[in-house]
Chain A
Amino acid sequence: MTAQEVRLCGLLLQEHFGEVVERIGTHLLRGGAQNLRTIANETNTPLDLVKKSLCVLVQHGACEFGSGRRGPGSPVEYRASCERVLRVLRYPRYIYTAKTLYGDTGELIVEEVLQRGHMTMSNTVKTVADRLTHNMEEGRSMEYSEVVSAFSKLVETHFLQRCPPVAEMGTAATSITPATPGTPAASASTAPPTAESNPDCYKLPHVTLIGRGKRRCSSDDSEEQRGGKKAKMDSEMEFVGKSGDSGGGMYVVNLQRALANLARATLESVVQERFGSRSARIFRLLLRKRHLEQKQVEDFAMIPAKEAKDMLYTLLSENLVQLQEIPKTPDHAPSRTFYLYTVNQLPTARLLLQHCYKTVANLIERRLFETKENKRLLEKSQRIEAILASQQASGAEPEQLTEVEEMITAPERQQLEALRHHINKLDSTENQVDETVFLLESYIFSTKTK
């Protein structure tokens, strides 16, 4: 958990669950596994609030509990996980993907489960069906079976996953007292209620595999497809490789390499946008050729010496490029050492990921700041909207409505408009930075698990 990650997690927790949970959550993230009393003491929070917050965190999967370090008799310890909290940024994208694949029903199911952490199937189906019925026209109602089928499809494609049962905690010495009567009886569904949740298996559909998937290229394929595959093979991307000739040719989709290439493209585009196209050329050169001396960089990139030196030093100061010393003599004299410039893709990707986290945290803080600055104005406009709505509901004349609307002056209206525009922009930017975060995280994760 880097400092940037913890800061971002704190802001996300604060936005979604309030300050109390944020305090407990950041404390857990910084301090590792702790038990209940330690948390309460160190954060100076009343015990009941700590318990409530822990319930919320565990419900949403941000925190896990396990038996303590000193064996089964010691108090329960809680651990928070950074990654799970950071997923909160991605909720809109999950919901939108579910919508495009499974329609409104799928969208609502996913939204409900995301908001509640984990839920039983019967609860979800009931809530979603009621919501849909509420939004439909009079006389029509949503069938539970439709919702159930959408739910099952989501489970099959791993959008939703069943929570594993949790072992009883602290049962060694004390007698087990079942806290509440067992799982509530299912209301609508036939099967025993299963609690479903969205763990980190919840990725956008096209990247769920780490490793290789085989796809049979049958001879029934159209010519285009085969031509396309061949072209893919020939290109440097190497997403698809040939792995044997049985059955007319077996092809392999190498996701790891795909991710690496995507990450590389991201890095290159970052350099291009921030430092210009010539620096980007140098960067690409170094990625391809690994280690180069300064003179060679100038030659290959076809950039005059002075500018090349300048750009290299800028990239070096930003840590995007590293310097590798290769001594010729055992005394490492500077005049007799090779200094080679190099780019390591993985550490650079990690660096960029941390920059992204910092960016998102800054965006959130700026948005909170803007909201706070204009709190008075926002509250006024909300009150006026409420008045307008109630007047319209009770059937008022147009003069009364205009009178109420005029309570906001024109410059205030402009200010409100500008504020909304800014907040929308900041929100939208968060969503887009999250795309880059997803890409880089997937790449880094894929290199870890081998």
Chain B
Amino acid sequence: MAGRGRGRGRGQMTFNLEDLGIGRGDSLPPTTFKPSPLFPPMPVQPVPLQTGEEVEYMLALKQELRAANKTLPFYIRRAAPKRDVDRYSDKYQSGEPKDSAIEWSPDWSRLPKELCIKVRKPLAKRHPPQVKQPKKPLVGKEEILTKLETLEKKEEAVNSEEEEDGEKKKTNEEEEQAEEEEFEEDFEEDTDYIMSYFDNGEEFGGDSDDNIDEATY
């Protein structure tokens, strides 16, 4: 019973083959051995493009706009990835803006408060852990003007930020860490040694440690 029908004709199926349009005696289309080509030949060619002064002008406009957009402050690039070793030249060669402030000044009255990074007053309550801490004022101008105050606040902010907001800020904000580290070197060592006496040989480069005992002239 199980073998009945096998081998007779083309094989029995549960539906009527003629409904599909494959009648008796017709040959099936050839079997395919590979996927269909990526760019099959087109039966009809597309209509040629328009030409003319208007079209050329709009083309030029489009390309100019595209080029101009790259220079505008609206084009946001990711911070350059941190290299494996901190280099001395990093201090002097910062091409990318290391600040996380905006390079253009929008009309803040048209934007929600939370988007403003420069504000040093406590933010709205939607950032509860940071209500007491002022936002890090990383704008260059303010640092120059009130540098000591900034450094002090930053120290506090760094300490509290590391405790409370470890999830995102730490690993992702390389530029802030780079700046933090610069200050940490000088301030956060809990040693009795006066930092200015200690020369760890970084800035001199290449001196072997054996010669420290020799008198400096």
A contacts, CB < 8 Å to B = 15-21, 36, 40-41, 44-49, 51-56, 58-60, 65, 75-76, 91-93, 95-96, 111, 114-115, 117, 120, 163, 166, 169-170, 173-174, 177-180, 182-183, 195, 273-276, 424-425, 427-432
Q: Which of these, B47, B59, B77, B105, contacts A20 with CB under 8 Å?
A: B77
Q: What is the chain A residue whose CB lies nearest that of B119?
A: A179
Tell me which residues across on chain A come within 8 A of B1, comparing CB atoms. Answer: none
A427 and B63 contacting across the interface, CB-CB below 8 Å? yes
- What 15 new A-B contacts, CB under 8 Å, besides A21-B76, A275-B44? A17-B69, A17-B75, A58-B106, A65-B111, A76-B114, A96-B61, A111-B65, A166-B111, A177-B113, A179-B113, A180-B105, A195-B110, A273-B46, A273-B47, A428-B58
Tell me which residues across on chain A come within 8 A of B100, comparing CB atoms. Answer: 46, 48-49, 52
B132 at the interface (CB under 8 A from A): no
Smallest Cβ distance from A270 to chain B, in angstroms? 10
Q: What is the chain B residue whose CB lies nearest that of A273?
A: B47
Known: A46-B173, A52-B100, A52-B102. A431 touches B112 (CB 8 A): no
Residues from 107 to 156 in B contacting A, C-beta threshold 8 Å: 107-117, 119, 121, 124-126
Tell me which residues across on chain A come within 8 A of B110, comparing CB atoms. Answer: 58, 163, 166, 195
Tell me which residues across on chain A come within 8 A of B116, comparing CB atoms. Answer: 51, 179
A180 and B108 contacting across the interface, CB-CB below 8 Å? yes
Smallest Cβ distance from A321 to chain B, in angstroms? 18
Tell me which residues across on chain A come within 8 A of B105, comparing CB atoms. Answer: 180
B50 at the interface (CB under 8 A from A): yes
A170 and B124 contacting across the interface, CB-CB below 8 Å? yes
Smallest Cβ distance from A58 to chain B, in angstroms? 6
Smallest Cβ distance from A83 to chain B, in angstroms? 19
Q: Which of these, A18, A59, A166, contacts B77 with CB under 8 Å?
A: A18
B159 at the interface (CB under 8 A from A): no
Bound CA–CA A173/B46 (angstroms) = 61
A46 and B172 contacting across the interface, CB-CB below 8 Å? yes
Between A and B, 13 residue pairs with Cβ closer than 8 Å are A18-B76, A40-B168, A46-B100, A46-B169, A55-B115, A60-B74, A75-B114, A169-B113, A174-B125, A179-B119, A195-B110, A427-B59, A427-B63
B72 at the interface (CB under 8 A from A): yes
Tell me which residues across on chain B come within 8 A of A49, comparing CB atoms. Answer: 76, 78, 100
Tell me which residues across on chain A come within 8 A of B47, comparing CB atoms. Answer: 273
Known: A174-B124, A177-B121, A273-B46. A53 touches B76 (CB 8 A): yes
Q: Which of these, A47, A75, A180, A274, contacts B44 with CB under 8 Å?
A: A274
Bound CA–CA A195/B115 (angstroms) = 20
Counting from the closest, the 3 A-B pairs by CB-CB distance are: A48-B100, A179-B108, A92-B61
Tell me which residues across on chain A come within 8 A of B13, comparing CB atoms. Answer: none
Tell me which residues across on chain A come within 8 A of B92, comparing CB atoms. Answer: none
Smallest Cβ distance from B211 to chain A, in angstroms? 44
Tell me which residues across on chain A come within 8 A of B66, comparing CB atoms. Answer: 15-16
B contacts, CB < 8 Å to A = 44, 46-47, 49-50, 54-55, 57-59, 61-63, 65-66, 68-69, 72, 74-78, 100, 102, 105-117, 119, 121, 124-126, 168-169, 172-173
Known: A48-B117, A52-B100, A170-B112. A115 touches B59 (CB 8 A): no
Tell me which residues across on chain A come within 8 A of B173, comparing CB atoms. Answer: 46, 48
Smallest Cβ distance from B84 to chain A, in angstroms? 21
Bound CA–CA A120/B107 (angstroms) = 10
Known: A51-B115, A96-B54, A170-B113. A56 touches B74 (CB 8 A): yes
Bound CA–CA A45/B168 (angstroms) = 8
B76 and A17 contacting across the interface, CB-CB below 8 Å? yes
Known: A17-B75, A18-B77, A169-B112. A59 touches B61 (CB 8 A): no
Tell me which residues across on chain B come within 8 A of A95, comparing CB atoms. Answer: 61
Smallest Cβ distance from B154 to chain A, in angstroms? 15
Q: What is the chain B residue whose CB lies nearest that of A57?
A: B74
A16 and B69 contacting across the interface, CB-CB below 8 Å? yes
Q: Which of these, A51, A56, A174, A431, contacts B59 with CB under 8 Å?
A: A431
Tell me which residues across on chain A come within 8 A of B111, comparing CB atoms. Answer: 55, 58, 65, 166
Tell me which residues across on chain B come within 8 A of A46, comparing CB atoms. Answer: 100, 168-169, 172-173
Tell me which residues across on chain B come within 8 A of A428, comparing CB atoms. Answer: 49-50, 55, 58-59
Smallest Cβ distance from B76 to chain A, in angstroms? 5
Smallest Cβ distance from A390 to chain B, in angstroms? 19
Bound CA–CA A4/B119 (angstroms) = 39
Smallest Cβ distance from B173 to chain A, in angstroms? 5
Tell me which residues across on chain A come within 8 A of B124, comparing CB atoms. Answer: 170, 174
Bound CA–CA A273/B68 (angstroms) = 37
Q: What is the chain A residue whose CB lies nearest that of B107?
A: A195
Smallest Cβ distance from A25 to chain B, in angstroms? 11
Bound CA–CA A163/B61 (angstroms) = 26
Q: What is the chain A residue whose CB lies nearest that of B49?
A: A428
Q: Which of these, A16, A36, A92, contacts B58 with CB under 8 Å?
A: A92
A115 and B109 contacting across the interface, CB-CB below 8 Å? no
Bound CA–CA A280/B59 (angstroms) = 32
Tell me which residues across on chain B come within 8 A of A195, comparing CB atoms. Answer: 107, 110
Bound CA–CA A163/B106 (angstroms) = 14
B72 and A115 contacting across the interface, CB-CB below 8 Å? yes
Q: What is the chain B residue whose CB lies nearest that of A36?
A: B114
Tell me which residues across on chain A come within 8 A of B55, comparing CB atoms. Answer: 428, 431-432
Tell me which residues across on chain A come within 8 A of B113, comparing CB atoms. Answer: 169-170, 177, 179
B69 and A115 contacting across the interface, CB-CB below 8 Å? yes
Tell me which residues across on chain B come within 8 A of A431, comparing CB atoms. Answer: 55, 58-59, 62
Tell me which residues across on chain A come within 8 A of B119, comparing CB atoms. Answer: 177, 179
Tell me which residues across on chain B come within 8 A of A182, comparing CB atoms. Answer: 109
Looking at A55, A111, A178, A432, the one whose CB has the most chain B CB atoms below 10 A away is A55
Bound CA–CA A20/B77 (angstroms) = 7
